[in-house]
Chains A and B, each alone.
Chain A
Amino acid sequence: MSFLLRLLAVFLLLAAPLRAQESFESGVAGLAGGFAAQAEAVERLGALGDPRAVPILRALSEGKLQKSPDGVLAIEGRDALTGAPAPTATETVRINNRVRGALRGAFGRLELASPQEAERINAAAGLFRARSADNIRLLEDALGREASPAARAAMEQALAASRLAAADPGVKRQGVLMLSGSASPEARSLLLGALAANPGLAAEIDSAIAAIDHRLQIRRVAETAFQGLSLGSVLLLAALGLAVTFGVMGVINMAHGEMVMLGAYTTVVVQEAFRGIPWLLPWALPLSVPAAFLVAAAVGAALERGLIRHLYGRPLETLLMTFGVGMILQQAVRLVFGAQNREVLSPSWMQGVITLPGGIEVTQNRLWIILFSLLVLAVTIAAIQFTRFGLEMRAVVQNRRIASTMGIRTGRVDAMTFAFGSGIAGMAGVALSQIDNVSPNLGTGYIIDSFMVVVFGGVGSLAGTMIGAFTLGVVNKMLEPWAGAVLAKIAVLVGIMLFIQRRPKGLFALKGRAAEQ
């Protein structure tokens, strides 16, 4: 009898890995099926916890898994299971969102013990979304080993979500309590979803949601403020060049938007030139800034010397003429580059989200643009206040004839001032290429806004332009949640109209004799 039992035990010991092997293979084979079969197979492979599944699933998620007509799976010409050379006539295994969701859960289980911190955090995020009570043990073990605070936080969230999915009400309550310390909208969503299913825990869940809501509210205010600043920085960039050409020189330049557009296309050209040199490619964007300045400044100088200077003192003619020049520039760019939008790559340091303390999420590209706009503002102010060129420019603006008698070549100063303003617009184009379409129409969208900012801030005042831009940006974003994007914009325009009625010179009116002319 005991011999028989022992025999049975030996048999079971041998059979268990055999069965695992079999279900691993059948799981992998399932990846070649329809979307529903794929999702099920991915879940099964995740539950098995066999590390051999990782490269296969990775290949599936990256579109590198191939299948032959008879269902043999291969990765880069080698059989996915055996590693032997695979038949060549193959097609890529396609997946849909359902399979992608299952993959995230499976990676969560398989990579929770990965040596890479980033992979562990990703894995925990995947398990948070998978919300299965099966993962509780796995996460508890992982938390016991974990030292990195970021990974711990992600795992605690995932554990809370998994506990919430458990059948036992005590475990569930633990989950609710853990989630109440979180500030993430996903946690709130999870709790709301659980509310209907668990009437017994309603009180705990309600108070957890209230706690999260409180934190979220602070966060939302901060995010709205950031969005307002970001919109303001875009307005500031677009308007700064105009603040020089219109504000300082008094030229109504309707082709200002096209200078911005030329800057954006310069970015495209610089990027295309660097495409062959991979190590330089991340630097294409920073290097585009001086290039765009030079291109737009050259066009601006040519425009001033060739056309605008003949029309000084005739604002209506200047307006019409620059409007025509703008259309010519648009159509010229359309002829050279085509009507299609051009793609500008974002360097990796401008992609994704940064999470600030308190869970406030800000997008990286917007953050860089805010910093860039402040930098351009500082450079502009410095150039006007502290350089010889700035001194001459201010002198010419204050009194052309006396400046001329002092030996300043006013014509040259005019050309340089206009080129400077246009060059700033070109630099704005580099930044806008990161958030807007690079198309021949890029500039037309900004010309009205730019004039609005300059007039609102006070013609001739750079500080006014900055404060005007940020005020309009923040007010617009604060109104948007209530009124919608269309009405918010209308409300802002009406507000400016009323304001200009009251203070025709804008926020910061220039005082003194020069301003009276």
Chain B
Amino acid sequence: MTHRLQVSRRVLLAGAAGALAMPAIRPSFAQGAPIKVGVLHSLSGTMAISETALRDTVLMMVENINGKGGLLGRKVEAVVVDPASNWPLFAEKARELLQVHKVDVTFGCWTSVSRKSVLPVFEELNGLLFYPVQYEGEEQSRNVFYTGAAPNQQAIPAVEYLMSDDGGGAKRIALLGTDYVYPRTTNRILRAFLNSKGIADADIMEEYTPFGHSDWQGIVSRVKQFANQGKKTAIVSTINGDANVPFYRELGNQGIKAEDIPSVAFSVGEEELAGIDTRPLVGHLAAWNYFMSVESPVNAEFKKMWHAYIKNDKRVTNDPMEATYTGFTMWAQAVAQAKTTAVDAVRTAMYGQKVMTPSGYEEQMWDNHHLSKPVMIGEIQADGQFNIVYKTPQAIKAENWSPFIPENANRRRG
């Protein structure tokens, strides 16, 4: 720890000396080829809606670090590719980044299926991937750092909140999700968790819909029916992507108020709400590790930086963007500490790295390749922002191998 402190002080001194020596405004890069940062986010296709903002975040961070004189005295250069929401293309583009462009690190992927698709490539070529989105866990690769939440940092605390007095004391839970690996695994964990809390299977409803489902009338009226069985009911939504908009519109149209049947979503952030009239949704919940409405000095700085970079004060920030910010900052720290971008050295330097994040908490990278993160529950407001109604006192360590999945539970040490 003290060692790390000394190093960062030395870097700081060097930076200060550099600033004194060179009065020129433009930073000049002393030596060496640029450090290459790969960006592997879909810029077209169905995931473009979410992933475009993450590409912009990485580009912003690159511009920011170059403005401060680069890294190890070298310029940082972004290499952007477009895997076009096409899962096999993700693997091809990852190979291109590693073999053709020889990138030192890659920031990328959103859906779990795209991550699973690039994983063998990064392991084979010993690359380094930072994955910024909450996911279902049950994975740990030495070539990936997961800066989003594991289920115990999002799903389980959110359901605990719904069952608490403040959350309405739910006794019946409707699990609604999109039909793919993340919702199914998360709901499997949640079902086991609910059973352990004394909620019987008869009080759990589970339903899946295809990607991009738009006709929610039947499901919402079935949820209404499920809710009218004499016990307080809540909805847990792992619905992903665009399908959320018609889902929330149907909730609003069928008059489901958050006071009666609150819903908590794991994939709905500020960006997704940008396309909806949120007035009928006030009070419905989302669980994340960061909200744009967090009041912290780092967040104020982050929002300012984003608005200046994107040149639009109306653009929102969200949790995966914050995770990208945190991952990039942490990687830069680790590189500065290791004094090289070599993957193995950076990996070792990553363990124990700490960053004060926009969430207002200090987050640490553990040797399970996951961050400790705070959990926050926010209520949707009429202006499309979230009002934080609950947050954990400390950052929570990730359990990427859930104790609720019996066959993986004792793989804790990965």
Contacts and interface: CB of A to CB of B under 8 A. Distances in A.
A334 B166 contact: no
Given A97-B168, A189-B230, A334-B44, A343 B212 contact: no
A441 interface: yes
Interface string B238-256: 0000100110011011110
A484 B207 contact: yes
B228 A231 contact: no
Interface residues of A, number: 60
Given A189-B229, A361-B254, A366 B210 contact: no
Q: What is the interface of chain B mostly: helix, strand, loop, or mixed?
A: loop
A227 B217 contact: yes
A58 B275 CA distance: 28
A230 B45 CA distance: 28
A345 B277 contact: yes
B254 A185 contact: no
Contacts of A342: 275
Contacts of A218: none
Nearest to B387: A94
A361 B280 CA distance: 18
B167 A363 contact: no
B209 A363 contact: no
B231 interface: yes
A223 B217 CA distance: 10
Nearest to B169: A98
B260 interface: yes
A224 B222 CA distance: 10
A67 interface: no
Interface in B268-291: 271, 274-277, 280, 283
B227 interface: yes
B392 interface: no
B218 A481 contact: yes
Chain B contact-residue range equals 35 or more
A341 B221 contact: no
Given A185-B225, A188-B228, A366 B217 contact: yes
A331 B283 CA distance: 36
B262 interface: yes
A452 to B, nearest CB: 15
A141 interface: no
A349 to B, nearest CB: 13
Given A189-B228, A339-B52, A351-B253, A98 B165 contact: yes
16 contacts: A63-B382, A94-B389, A96-B387, A97-B258, A97-B283, A190-B230, A193-B230, A193-B231, A227-B217, A339-B44, A341-B242, A343-B276, A345-B277, A351-B280, A437-B275, A485-B219
Given A220-B225, A435-B215, 9 more contacts: A97-B262, A129-B259, A129-B260, A230-B215, A366-B217, A441-B212, A441-B242, A481-B218, A486-B208
Interface of B: 43-46, 48-49, 52, 165-168, 179, 207-210, 212-215, 217-219, 221-222, 224-225, 227-231, 242, 245-246, 249-250, 252-255, 258-260, 262, 271, 274-277, 280, 283, 379, 381-382, 387, 389
